[in-house]
Amino acid sequence: MNRLRTFFDLVRFEHTIFALPFAYLGMALASSVAGGGWPGWSKFIWITVAMVAARTLAMSANRLVDRELDAHNPRTMNRPLPRGLVSSQAVAVYAAVSLVVLIVASWQLNPLCLQLLPGALVFLLGYHYTKRFTWLSHWVLGFTDGLAAPGAWAAVRGSIFASTDLPAWLLLFVVTFWIAGFDLIYACQDVDVDRHDRLHSIPADFSMATALRLARICHALTAILLASVGLTMSLSWPY
């Protein structure tokens, strides 16, 4: 149980809830466009498995890539990897197993999901490095999490590029701006460390005041884009 708690702490398992509701929203709306209701337990289960595997893969990779940075950041030095509660080899195994599970889940969903997987992996494994060269890292993180919605949409519809798939793209940017908005706030905690380590973020490269203004804009855009999904799909007022 201690090892399991350490693993959950390592990958911040509880934060998976950030993206799961949007995956389920993409699933439900795609099913309504297809003229059906509940898409079936098989789709629901494999979408959930794919989401959990994708996030576990991303967080395991993040902990490996940033382990040296985390070790001397006062906010992160108590994470399991810097404290030696888990080895780098074990985290690499977590990532590898998660990748295999994600591939299997994509294969079980439909051929399109499997074809789109390499593109998703570029973001799942690559977003960790963006802070090293661009302050756009907040939006890259948001986009990476946002892939959950069109991914689930594609799992149900079997398409993502048709004109009727516009809501899936709107949901992608809903999550992109939502995540980026609170990541801008979150990054204010690390402004001094980021400047010392020459890492890029809006607070470090510009100012915390700029970050907070942009966070407000991002969350306003989140609300506007959510409303546009409802308008696009002619959803009733409770939506």
pLDDT of 179 higher than 70? yes
Distance of CA 15 to the CA centre of its chain: 10
**Would you say 180 and 142 are in contact if contact means Cβ atoms under 8 Å apart?**
yes
**Would you say 8 and 63 are in contact if contact means Cβ atoms under 8 Å apart?**
no
Q: Which residues of 146-176 are buried (b: 16+ CB within 10 A; e: fewer)?
A: bbbbbbbbbbbbebbeeeebebbbbbbbbbb
| Residue 177 token pair | 């701006």
Q: Whole-number mean pLDDT of the chain?
A: 89
pLDDT of 138 higher than 80? yes
| Residue 208 token pair | 């915390």
Radius of gyration in angstroms for the set of CA atoms belonging to the chain, rounded to a whole number: 18
Is the torsion defined by CA of 126, 128, 131, 135 positive or negative? positive
Please tell me the predicted confidence (pLDDT) of residue 7. Answer: 64
The identity of residue 128, as a single letter, is H
Higher-pLDDT residue of 41, 239: 41
Please tell me the predicted confidence (pLDDT) of residue 129. Answer: 93
Higher-pLDDT residue of 16, 191: 191
Please tell me the predicted confidence (pLDDT) of residue 10. Answer: 64
pLDDT in tens, 62-99: 888 888 887 888 887 777 777 777 788 888 888 899 99
Residue boundaries of the structural domains of the chain: 2-232
- Cα 33 from Cα 153, distance rounded (Å): 10
pLDDT of 171 higher than 90? yes
Which backbone phi and psi does 74 adopt, to 5 degrees? Answer: -55, -30
pLDDT of 137 higher than 90? yes
Between the CA of residue 2 and those of 70, 86, 97, what are the distances in Å?
A: 22, 11, 20
**Would you say 58 and 27 are in contact if contact means Cβ atoms under 8 Å apart?**
no
The model's confidence at residue 211, banded by pLDDT at 50, 70 and 90, is very high
Q: Does domain 2-232 have CATH number 1.20.120.420?
A: no
- Cα 145 from Cα 135, distance rounded (Å): 17
Please tell me the predicted confidence (pLDDT) of residue 74. Answer: 83
pTM above threshold 0.75: yes
**Would you say 173 and 148 are in contact if contact means Cβ atoms under 8 Å apart?**
no
Listing DSSP states for the chain in one string gives: -HHHHHHHHHHTGGGGGGTHHHHHHHHHHHHHHTT-S---HHHHHHHHHHHHHHHHHHHHHHHHHTHHHHHT-TTTTTSHHHHTSS-HHHHHHHHHHHHHHHHHHHHHH-HHHHHHHHHHHHHHHHGGGGGGT-TTHHHHHHHHHHTHHHHHHHHHHS-SSSGGGHHHHHHHHHHHHHHHHHHHHHGGGGHHHHHHTT---HHHHT-HHHHHHHHHHHHHHHHHHHHHHHHHTT--TT-
